[in-house]
Amino acid sequence: MTEATRSLAVADALVAVLAGVGAVAGSYAAVGLAPAFLGSPLERLLSRAMPGPVVAVAIERLGSVGQQLNLLLASLLTALALAALVWLAMRVGDQLRNRAVPVVLGAAFVWAATALVTVNFASATGAAAGAALVVSTAGFLPVATARIERGPDPVRRRVVGGVAAALGLGAVAITRSSPSTRPDQPLSADAPETVRESLELAAERSLDVAGIEPLVSRDFYQVDINAADPRVAPDDWSLSVTGAVESAATYSLDDLRSMDERTEFSTLRCVGDSLNGQKLDNALWTGVPTEELIDAADPGGDCDCVKLHAADGYYQVFPTEALRGGLLAYEMNGRDLPRGHGFPLRALVPGHWGEVQVKWLTEIEFLERDAEGYWEKRGWHGTGPVTTVAKLWAVNDLDDGRTQVAGHAYAGTRGVARVEVSTDGGGSWNEAELSDPLPGDTVEQSSTSSQTQSGNDVWRQWAYEYEHPGSRHEVVVRAVEADGTLQSGNRREAFPNGATGWVSQTVR
């Protein structure tokens, strides 16, 4: 092999790899971050195959960054696999001494492979176009004379062309981003009065404190088993009620929307949330009480348990009794459920860990015998009620020289009655100011009505101001539940059944 042929071979390999990257970028430009994106199938495989303890550590230490890295790795490996196909097409082009063959055959290979793994026409076409763009720019079209006539400096031309095309595609891909719905955007004019009033009430009752979320979260956390959320077309979607029931049923979205609806605040917290983490948020949800569907189905089954299935392959099993008080929500803060939070329908199970609040819900299956859910198979125990927590999310220097500490407290359906703050490491305790309870809060219910309502599952904000002692000191917070129970001070990590302990922070 001469020096020239060797560097040509290296350039070919490089162009093939760039074409693989181009294919991945082309797929992304076509469908965005969706299950049909070329990197998604391998990413799903990798995340399903990952051992439970590894996932637990990844969630605790890396959070969603771990998921991004996984997607990046999957995309790179996919690009390399496609590069091999493109390289093959280039070799055939060599044999046939035809410069169009690598482009056309390479695109055809990439199209077929992408169609096979994503089952999506747009994704396959985007990937094929991306690969073809890179290969043709790299010097295999008749306009470039590189390969066969051995024109001037073919190696550099090919590589530079390939890099340019891959960069261009990457830029197109990156500009794709999905819009998010935020509660402070104006509501549509026909939004129901209950929604409008509830959101206004939440805004009024939110404490005027810097550095913490209002009572309705502006930025609602998201936890998913996949990097790409499913895109569910509402017209093709239905919810089926199956399994150990007297009467199975199927509901369209319109069926559900025409039933009696309920609007309520409900707070969610992930069982993987670290003690002072941010995977805790609150929203106003509208939907159908699960009770309606459960009664209509009349479930039997020995375990009195239910399995919820979702469009992303997620599933969870928990007691039917817990689902009884729940809601099948199609709206969040007065708008259609955002895609990231389960469009078109999600379950809300008051007072329970986030993992049973199944998004993109497709089936409610009543079981004969108990079974493990997605996370339980991976060692977590997150199907039960939440633990109580008081978060310390802000330390502010006030204008008058005093110090303010603040955060949110959440105790599920047990309700938060009080938050206590110590500024001397737990030696002495003082009561913090609390936001007034929102409708549905356990505390508000016991004081305003005797009627029991299921959706009593709302967090509260707390704030406390004090004179800075002039030296570093330890601030500790703890919540007291509505019935007087003090939050557990036992320090425990999130894995496997939720973090416990009092949050403490050194303030300088």
Ligand X SMILES: Nc1nc2c(c(=O)[nH]1)N[C@H]1C(S)=C(S)[C@@H](COP(=O)(O)O)O[C@H]1N2
Q: Which residues bind ligand X (CB under 6 A)?
A: 220-225, 268, 270, 310, 312, 314, 341, 354-355, 357-360
Q: Are 283 and 332 in contact (CB under 8 A)?
A: yes
Give the nearest distance from C-beta 331 to ligand X in angstroms. Answer: 13
In the complex with ligand X, the residue whose CB is nearer, 268 or 275, is 268
Alpha-carbon distance values, 229 to 47, 226, 343, 497 (Å): 14, 7, 10, 25
**Nearest residue (CB) to Mo ion, 219 versus 295:** 219
Q: State which residue, 213 or 312, has the beta carbon closest to ligand X.
A: 312
Q: Which stretch binds Mo ion (CB under 5 A): 186-194, 264-272, 317-325, 442-450?
A: 264-272
* Shortest distance in whole angstroms from residue 355 CB to Mo ion: 4
Which residues in the 327-386 window bind Mo ion by CB under 5 A? Answer: 354-355
Does 312 sit near Mo ion (CB under 5 A)? no
Q: Name the one range near Mo ion by CB under 5 A: 5-13, 140-148, 218-226, 490-498.
A: 218-226
* Whole-angstrom distance, CA of residue 170 vs CA of residue 165: 9
Tell me whether the omega of the peptide bond preceding residue 496 falls within 30 degrees of 0, making it cis.
yes
CA atoms lying within 13 Å on the CB side of residue 279: 21
Question: Which residue number is nearest to ligand X in terms of Cβ?
Answer: 354
Is 270 or 480 the residue whose CB approaches ligand X more closely? 270
Task: Say what the alpha-carbon torsion angle 32, 33, 38, 41 is, to the nearest 10 degrees.
Answer: -150
Query: For residue 310, how many C-alpha atoms fall within 13 Å in the half-sphere facing its CB?
Result: 29
Q: Least separation, in Å, of the C-beta of 230 and ligand X?
A: 8
Give me the least distance between CB of 278 and Mo ion, in Å please. Answer: 13
Query: In this complex, which beta carbon is closest to ligand X, that of residue 138 or of residue 329?
Result: 329
Q: Three-state DSSP class for 153?
A: coil
Nearer to ligand X, 139 or 272 (CB): 272
| H helices present in 175-297, as ranges | 193-205, 253-257, 290-297
221 binds, among ligand X, Mo ion, none (CB under 5 to 8 A by kind): ligand X
Query: What CA–CA distance (Å, rounded) separates 96 from 76?
Result: 30
Candidate residues 86, 128, 165, 223; the one interacting with Mo ion per rule CB under 5 A: 223
Q: Is 270 in the site for Mo ion (CB under 5 A)?
A: yes
Residue 229 binds to Mo ion (criterion: CB under 5 A):
no
Strand partners, 289: 327
Least distance to ligand X from the beta carbon of 313, Å?
Answer: 8
Amino acid letter, 331: E
**249 contact choice in ligand X, Mo ion, none (CB below 5 to 8 Å, kind-dependent):** none
314 binds, among ligand X, Mo ion, none (CB under 5 to 8 A by kind): ligand X
CB of 495 to Mo ion, least distance (A): 12
Residue 14: HSE in the Cβ half-sphere, 13 Å Cα cutoff? 19
Residue (146 or 270) nearer to Mo ion, CB: 270
Cis peptide before 469 (omega within 30 of 0): no
In whole angstroms, the minimum distance from the beta carbon of 311 to ligand X comes to 7
Residue 335: partners with Cβ closer than 8 Å, 6 or more residues away: 181, 187, 188
Q: Which is nearer to ligand X, 270 or 443 (CB)?
A: 270
- Of the pair 251, 314, the CB lying nearest ligand X is at 314
User: Do the Cβ atoms of 195 and 50 come closer than 8 Å?
Assistant: no
- Rounded CA-CA distance 68/228 in Å is 10
Q: Kind and range of the H or E element at 367? A: strand 361-367
67 binds, among Mo ion, ligand X, none (CB under 5 to 8 A by kind): none
State the nearest-atom distance from the C-beta of 53 to ligand X, in Å.
Answer: 17
Is the separation of the CB atoms in 223 and 272 below 8 Å? yes
- Quick check: helix, strand or coil at residue 298? coil
Q: Left, alpha or beta for 264 (phi > 0: left; psi -120 to 50: alpha)?
A: beta
- In whole angstroms, the minimum distance from the beta carbon of 224 to ligand X comes to 4
Residue ranges that bind Mo ion, judged by CB under 5 A? 223, 270, 354-355
